[in-house]
Amino acid sequence: MWGSTLLGYVGIDTIIEQMRKKTMKTGFDFNIMVVGQSGLGKSTLVNTLFKSQVSRRSSGWSRDDKIPKTVEIKSVSHVIEEGGVKMKLTVIDTPGFGDQINNENCWEPISKYINEQYEKFLKEEVNIARKKRIPDTRVHCCLYFISPTGHSLRQLDVEFMKHLGRAVNIIPVIAKADTLTPEEKTEFKQRVRKELEVCGIEFYPQKEFDEDMEDKSDNDKIREAMPFAVVGSDKEYQVNGKRVLGRKTAWGIVEVENPNHCEFSLLRDFLIRSHLQDLKEVTHNIHYETYRAKRLNDNGGLHPISSSSDTQESNL
C-alpha cells in the first residue's frame, strides 16, 4: 500500500466530527453491573460515579429491605444527558450475593444473566430481517466490590472472579476505603494484586487485549494502581470554601474527589472519561465473540430465524 501526499486540504479529518454528530444523535447504551456483599456501598458509589440518583436504592428500594434468600438480578435504567450526548445507563444490581450462610455457587444466577444477554444479542444478529439498531443489554462492565478487611481476598471473591473473568470485564474495587489508613491501603492492595496474579484472574484492562505500545503503557499504569480504593457519597459539605462530596466523621471530612483521601477520581476518570468506549468494544469484540463462537460450534451452526417466529434455542 503506497501513501500519497495530499496536494491540498481534502476534508477527510471531518469524519471525526461527523461521527461525533451521529453519536450525539443516536446516543449510546452503557450497562454496568455491581456485585458485592450487602453494605459495601455499591449503590452509593454508582450514584456518585454518575452524579445522579441512578441506583436501585434511589428508585424505591429502602435500606431496611430484607436480604433476599437467593441472588436476584435487578436492573434499573435511566437516560442521562451531558453536553448534548445522551446515555442510557443501566445499573444491574445483585442483592443477595455473598450474604447467605451458604454461598455455594451464588455466582451462577449472575453468570446466567450475562449469558442470557449475549444470547439475546446473538438471536437478533442472526435474524434475517435485522433491526436497524440492536438493543444492547450486554453487561459492559462488572464492578466487583472487595470488603476492606485489610488482610486478603475472601474465598468467595476469588471464586467469583475466577468463574466470571472470562465472560465479562471485571473491575475490582476496594469498597469503603475510608476504613483503611494509607499504609494499610497500600499493603492490602499489594496483597490483593498478588493473590489475583497467583489465582490467574485477569481483570480489566486485560493484558492480552492491549493493542499497541501506547495502550500498553497507559494500561500498565492503571493496572499498577488497581484495585482502586474508593469511597462514595452523595452528600455535600463545605471544605475550605468549596462544596465537596464527602463523608463527615467526628474527626474530619473524607473528601470523595480528593486524590489524597481515596481513589474515586481515578476510578471515575478511568471508567467514564477514558475507557468507556473501550469497555463496550472489548465486550462486543472479545467476550461476545467468544460466546458466539462457542454457541455456533456447539450447535453446528445457528439457522437464521425469521423475525415473526421466535423459536426457543436449545439450552446451553
Partner 1 sequence: SSGGGPQGHRSYQQKNLEGYVGFANLPNQVYRKSVKRGFEFTLMVVGESGLGKSTLINSLFLTDLYSSEYPGPSHRIKKTVQVEQSKVLVKEGGVQLLLTIVDTPGFGDAVDNSNCWQPVIDHIDSKFEDYLNSESRVNRRQMPDNRVHCCLYFIAPSGHGLKPLDIEFMKRLHEKVNIIPLIAKADTMTPEECQQFKKQIMREIQEHKIKIYEFPETDDEEENKLVKKIKDRLPLAVVGSNTIIEVNGKRVRGRQYPWGVAEVENGDHCDFTILRNMLIRTHMQDLKDVTNNVHYENYRSRKLAAVTYNGADNNKSKGQLTKVDTVEGISPLAQMEEERREHMAKMKKMEMEMEQVFEMKVKEKLQKLKDSEAELQRRHEQMKKNLEAQHKELEEKRRQFEEEKVSWEAQQHLLEQQKLDASRYTLPNQKKGKNIDSFNKAVLNVLCMSLQH
Amino acid at 26: T
Q: Is residue 179 close enough to count as binding partner 1 by CB under 8 A?
A: yes
Q: Is 109 in the site for partner 1 (CB under 8 A)?
A: no
Which residue number, 155 or 311, has a Cβ lying nearer to partner 1? 155
Q: How far is the CB of 155 from partner 1 (least distance, A)?
A: 5
Q: Which of 42, 140, 176, 189 binds partner 1 (CB under 8 A)?
A: 176
Q: With beta carbons less than 8 A apart as the criterion, state whether 164 and 142 touch.
A: yes
Contact yes or no for 94/72 (Cβ under 8 A): yes
Q: How far is the CB of 232 from partner 1 (least distance, A)?
A: 12
Q: Binding mask 20-59 vs partner 1 (x if CB under 8 A, - otherwise)?
A: -----------------xxxxx------------------
Q: Nearest to residue 76, comparing CAs of 106, 109, 101, 42?
A: 42
Name the DSSP letter for residue 64.
T
Residue 89, CB-side half-sphere exposure with 13 Å CA sphere: 23
Three-state DSSP class for 260?
Answer: coil
Neighbours of 175 (CB within 10 A): 25
Binding map of partner 1 across residues 154-173, x = CB under 8 A, - = no contact: xxx--x--------------
| Least spacing, CB of residue 186 vs partner 1, in Å | 13
208 binds partner 1 (CB under 8 A): no
Q: Is 247 in the site for partner 1 (CB under 8 A)?
A: yes
Asked whether 175 and 188 are in contact (CB, 8 A), the reply is: no
| Residue from 77, 119, 125, 150 binding partner 1 (CB under 8 A) | 150
For partner 1, which residue of 35, 178, 189, 204 counts as binding (CB under 8 A)?
Answer: 178
Of 161, 164, 113, 171, the closest CA to residue 138 belongs to 113
Would you say 145 and 36 are in contact if contact means Cβ atoms under 8 Å apart?
A: yes
C-alpha cell at 3: 501513501
Q: Is 186 in the site for partner 1 (CB under 8 A)?
A: no
Nearer to partner 1, 29 or 255 (CB): 255
Neighbour count for residue 177 (Cβ, 10 Å) = 25
- Nearer to partner 1 by Cβ, of 16 and 101: the residue is 101
Closer residue to partner 1 (CB): 138 or 176: 176
97 vs 288, beta carbon nearer partner 1: 97
Q: Nearest CA to 233 among 212, 248, 251? A: 248
Q: Strand 74-82 to strand 85-93: parallel, antiparallel, or no bridges (unpaired)?
A: antiparallel
List of residues contacting partner 1 (CB under 8 A): 37-41, 63-64, 67, 99-104, 147-152, 154-156, 159, 176, 178-179, 181-182, 247-255, 258, 260-261
